[in-house]
């Protein structure tokens, strides 16, 4: 009898073992759970009357709105250059230069800056009408009758410049309103870019109440951003090859209306700029030039960087401080606001206090904070990160592969990356394979997802610009609205490593050895210049100069 029972148990266990994979993929089902979408800096900032204000450098253009005339731009530049030329360069005295820089630029971006108390000036912020519109929808509209919700059903609008903790109480009420309206017990949160910081702050403050079922972090800055960190802490370094790569990809995405807007820029001008940088890179000229600029910056950065960051408002945007690395935080605070006891630090005491709160509750708390969300609060976390594009070529972390805004290691919560131009060594991949992590190595040998905080729910899209495409919508809705969605188990056969394709369903394809190639902005950069490559780039440069000159002459007549 015992033998018969043992045999029966063995059959059941064996059958269960074989059935489990099919069960895991087959049980994927719709989960009626409202999505609240929290965007980043794409949300318009308005003045007290509801008129949009500029938070970018377009205020320096002589456009139809008349932000600044050409004469005013020239006058401003000369006022800044006087102390630079007369005191800085000859006598290494930069205090007056920094002061002149701030005094000339600060009025231009006055409405953009946060005040010393950490609040918006003059009543600026997100349009009250827009906030009221979405608040009303949260209380009156019951969507999701088909069993699932869409990202655009509910949007949380907020002033992305402020500390994310300034928004958590209102977001908490917004979530409760939607739960009441939809008669669902929980919601899902999807955050893009700066929106991720709001989600992290909310979960840190209210996560223990159990109102959030799933979170999808899409290319967020809340886990760090090298470009913010390096600029805030003054760690500026130039790279000639990365400048060339950045220029090539800027032309490509700029013409598509993403990233740097190059609409209206002559193709001949772009060609001339590219071939000039190409020749200078191959000949080693650009390296020498950037080296000189770097040495100059080292002399004046304590005057230049804080003046720029405070004048343009960027350094005052508390939300951006979520992106500063713990090891550089003190240096960044001292650079932007001055050391403890200085007048500048006192003038910004309220803002610095909010920034220190972010540091304590988010920056220094990672990664244990996210583990707590997952283990103690039961929040399922999905992540999407882009890579394959050059980071800003003026920063210490210029070689990190990115989506042009956030580095892939930060956006993915810890992936190991090979760098923009490199791939993993055979020794590295052999070691990871031996440890059983082969499936987490990307086909192009540039990403190791095994070191991510959530390796089973982190996806990567190669050659996707931070601002480009709707790929995040497809993945975010799929992850939040269906059960059992991981990189190893999903009914749509979406692999962990994807390649961006604007013409594909969901705007991406599974990465294969056939489609994994780097973009031309990487492959067109010659890594080891030869006499032949230098000569060829010089000829191309001269040809581009002639074409630009001929076009200029033609347009004169």
Condensed to tens digits (0 to 9), the pLDDT of residues 75-117 reads: 666 776 666 766 767 777 777 878 888 888 888 889 999 999 9
Confidence of residue 260 (pLDDT cuts 50, 70, 90): low
Length of the chain equals 557
| pLDDT mean over 496-524 | 93
DSSP conformation class of 240: H
pLDDT at position 293 is: 77
- Taking a C-beta distance cutoff of 8 angstroms, is the pair 396, 218 a contact? no
Give the range among 309-323, 410-424, 540-554 with minimum mean pLDDT. Answer: 540-554
Indicate whether 276 pLDDT > 70. yes
pLDDT at position 556 is: 61
Instruction: Count Cβ neighbours within 10 Å for each residue of 273-291 and write b for 16 or more, e otherwise.
Output: bbbbbbbbbbbeebbeebe
Model confidence pLDDT, tens digit, residues 469-485: 788 899 999 999 999 99
Cis peptide bond upstream of 367, omega within 30: yes
For residues 457 and 223, the model is more confident at 457
Indicate whether 20 pLDDT > 60. no
DSSP conformation class of 390: P
| pLDDT mean over 139-149 | 76
| pLDDT mean over 302-324 | 92
Confidence of residue 21 (pLDDT cuts 50, 70, 90): very low
Confidence of residue 2 (pLDDT cuts 50, 70, 90): very low
pLDDT at position 187 is: 97
pLDDT at position 259 is: 67
Q: Tokens standing for 527?
A: 């890594």
> Whole-angstrom Cα distance, residue 174 to residue 36?
9
Confidence of residue 8 (pLDDT cuts 50, 70, 90): very low
pLDDT at position 24 is: 37
Mean pLDDT, all residues of the chain: 85
Indicate whether 65 pLDDT > 50. no
> Whole-angstrom Cα distance, residue 86 to residue 97?
10
- Taking a C-beta distance cutoff of 8 angstroms, is the pair 43, 192 a contact? no
pLDDT at position 277 is: 80
pLDDT at position 64 is: 42
Percent of the chain with pLDDT over 90: 56
pLDDT at position 134 is: 94
> Whole-angstrom Cα distance, residue 258 to residue 389?
13
Q: Which of 20-29, 265-274, 528-537 has the highest mean pLDDT?
A: 528-537
pTM (two decimals) = 0.87
For residues 120 and 26, the model is more confident at 120
Confidence of residue 14 (pLDDT cuts 50, 70, 90): very low
Cβ-based neighbours of 207, under 8 Å, separated by 6 or more: 372, 373, 377, 379
| pLDDT mean over 55-71 | 54
For residues 555 and 128, the model is more confident at 128
Other CB atoms within a 10 A radius of the CB of residue 424 amount to 21
Model confidence pLDDT, tens digit, residues 42-52: 899 999 888 89
Q: Tokens standing for 358?
A: 């972010």
| pLDDT mean over 219-240 | 91
> Whole-angstrom Cα distance, residue 100 to residue 46?
28
Helix then strand then coil, in percent of the chain rounded to 5, is 50, 10, 40
Q: C-alpha distances in angstroms, 92 versus 102, 254, 277, 304? A: 18, 38, 30, 13
């Amino acid at each position: 009898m015992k033998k018969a029972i043992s045999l029966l148990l063995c059959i059941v266990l064996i059958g269960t073992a074989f059935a489990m994979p099919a069960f895991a993929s087959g049980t994927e089902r719709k989960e009626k759970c409202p999505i609240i979408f929290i965007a980043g800096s794409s949300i318009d900032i308005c003045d007290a009357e509801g008129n949009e204000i500029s938070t970018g450098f377009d205020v320096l253009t002589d456009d139809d709105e008349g932000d600044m005339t050409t004469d005013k731009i020239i006058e401003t530049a000369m006022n800044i250059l006087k102390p630079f030329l007369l005191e800085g360069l000859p006598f290494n005295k930069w205090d007056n230069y920094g002061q002149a820089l701030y005094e000339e630029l600060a009025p231009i971006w006055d409405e953009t800056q946060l005040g010393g108390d950490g609040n918006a000036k003059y009543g600026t912020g997100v349009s009250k009408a827009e906030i009221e519109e979405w608040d009303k929808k949260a209380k009156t509209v019951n969507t999701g009758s088909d069993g699932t919700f869409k990202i655009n059903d509910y949007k949380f609008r907020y002033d992305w410049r402020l500390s994310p903790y300034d928004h958590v109480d209102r977001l908490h009420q917004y979530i409760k309103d939607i739960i009441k309206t939809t008669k669902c017990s929980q919601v899902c949160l999807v955050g893009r870019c700066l929106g991720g910081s709001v989600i992290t702050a909310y979960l840190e403050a209210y996560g223990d109440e159990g109102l959030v079922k799933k979170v999808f972090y899409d290319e967020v800055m809340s886990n760090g951003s090298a470009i913010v960190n390096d600029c805030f802490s003054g760690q500026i370094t130039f790279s000639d090859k990365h400048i060339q790569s950045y220029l090539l990809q800027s032309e490509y995405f700029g013409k598509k209306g993403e990233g740097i807007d190059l609409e209206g820029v002559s193709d001949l001008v772009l060609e001339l700029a590219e071939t000039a940088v190409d020749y200078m890179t191959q000949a080693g000229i650009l390296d020498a030039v950037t080296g000189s600029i770097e040495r100059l910056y080292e002399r004046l950065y304590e005057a230049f960087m804080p003046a720029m960051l405070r004048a343009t408002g960027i350094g005052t945007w508390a939300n951006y401080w979520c992106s500063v690395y713990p090891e550089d935080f003190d240096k960044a605070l001292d650079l932007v606001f001055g050391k403890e006891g200085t007048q500048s630090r006192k003038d910004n005491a309220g803002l610095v206090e909010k920034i220190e709160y972010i540091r304590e509750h988010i920056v220094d708390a990672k990664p244990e904070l996210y583990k707590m969300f997952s283990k103690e609060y039961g929040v399922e976390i999905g992540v999407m990160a882009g890579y394959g594009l050059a980071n800003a070529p003026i920063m210490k972390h210029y070689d990190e592969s990115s989506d042009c805004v956030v580095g892939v290691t930060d956006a993915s919560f810890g992936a190991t990356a090979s760098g923009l131009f490199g791939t993993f060594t055979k020794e590295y991949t052999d070691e990871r394979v031996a440890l059983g992590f082969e499936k987490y190595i990307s086909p192009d040998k540039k990403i190791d997802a095994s070191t991510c905080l959530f390796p089973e729910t982190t996806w990567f899209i190669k050659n996707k610009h931070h601002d480009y495409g709707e790929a995040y919508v497809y993945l975010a809705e799929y992850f939040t609205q269906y059960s059992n969605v991981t990189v190893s188990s999903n009914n749509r056969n979406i692999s962990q490593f994807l390649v961006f394709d604007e013409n594909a369903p969901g705007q991406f394809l599974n990465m294969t050895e056939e489609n994994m190639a780097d973009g031309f902005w990487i492959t067109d950069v010659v890594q080891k210049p030869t006499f032949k490559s230098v000569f060829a780039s010089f000829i191309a440069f001269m040809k581009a100069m002639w074409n630009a000159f001929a076009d200029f002459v033609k347009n004169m007549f």
